[in-house]
Amino acid sequence: MRVLIVEDADPLADVLAGGLRDQAIATDVARDGLEAAAKLALTRYDVVVLDRDLPGIHGDDLCRMIAERDTRVMVLMPTAADAPGDRVSGLMLGADDYLAKPFHFPELVLRVRALARRRPAAQAPTLRAAGIELDTLRHTVTRDGKPLDLSVKEFELLEALLRASPAYLSAEDLLERVWDEHADPFSNAVAVTIGRLRRKLGEPPVITTTPRVGYRIADSF
């Protein structure tokens, strides 16, 4: 999952982004509407947490642009608790959910995860290949019926490979999908996580590597 926080109040933006990253959710930040529009044009996001009162491009206009251009991106719009009119107008603009301010951070995490599951382009909640069964709703993985204990990053990396199967994903693809814009492109995070995942998946090996191409899980092993 990849999330974009669009918030011009730097302290709040940093707190929200840091909190989501602590939950192993890849999170980018845009400080105004223009920066947000540029990031949305370059990167595929699952959820946008969108403040309304933004410089550059107003949040309402940005919400309308997202709704018109990419129905796969879900928009969560924080609104004032005592302003039901704002909530109604936000939903009419194309927002998928709202969150009344002030809010508790755990509720934000739950709303973001729920919106990601509701994405129109989302695939089946259970992914299967090579004896692996990954349930995105229950956050469980089995291989040949045996439960596996994966870290959050291992789970998300395996999910990305299963969704792409039998196609290859490069290390750069996996950095973009599982980590975020703060990830070091020269980092060995992908290779290290792949190594741990291979050990946990056991024998026979199911993740293949082709130099200068990437990683994949083939349907038949």
Specify whether 84 is located in the same domain as 6: yes
Specify whether 200 is located in the same domain as 93: no
Any idea what the CATH number is for the domain that residue 196 is in? 1.10.10.10
Specify whether 21 is located in the same domain as 109: yes
DSSP state of 205: P
- Please tell me the distance from the alpha carbon of residue 218 to that of residue 221, in angstroms, as a whole number: 7
Structure confidence at residue 53 (pLDDT): 87
Any idea what the CATH number is for the domain that residue 52 is in? 3.40.50.2300
Specify whether 114 is located in the same domain as 12: yes
Report, as ranges of residue numbers, the positions in the chain whose pLDDT lies below 50.
220-221
Structure confidence at residue 68 (pLDDT): 76
Structure confidence at residue 126 (pLDDT): 83
Write the pLDDT tens digit of every residue in 43-99. Answer: 889 999 999 889 999 998 899 888 877 667 899 998 875 555 655 665 677 888 888
Residue 215 exposed, middle or buried by CB count within 10 Å (0-12, 13-18, 19+):
buried
Structure confidence at residue 91 (pLDDT): 66
Token readout for 208 is 């293949």
DSSP sequence for 135-151 = ETTTTEEEETTEEE---
- Please tell me the distance from the alpha carbon of residue 164 to that of residue 147, in angstroms, as a whole number: 22
What is the residue range of 184's domain? 126-217
Sign of CA dihedral 48, 10, 19, 25: positive
Token readout for 98 is 């709202």
DSSP sequence for 33-87 = HHHHHHHHHHS--SEEEE-SS-SSS-HHHHHHHHHHH-TTSEEEEEEETT-HHHH
- Please tell me the distance from the alpha carbon of residue 37 to that of residue 22, in angstroms, as a whole number: 25
Our count of domains for the chain comes to: 2
Token readout for 210 is 């082709």
Specify whether 6 is located in the same domain as 82: yes
Q: Please say whether the beta carbons of 95 and 66 come within 8 A.
A: no
DSSP state of 169: B
Specify whether 102 is located in the same domain as 10: yes
Residue 141 exposed, middle or buried by CB count within 10 Å (0-12, 13-18, 19+):
buried
* Cβ contacts of 142 within 8 Å, gap of 6 or more: 132, 133, 148
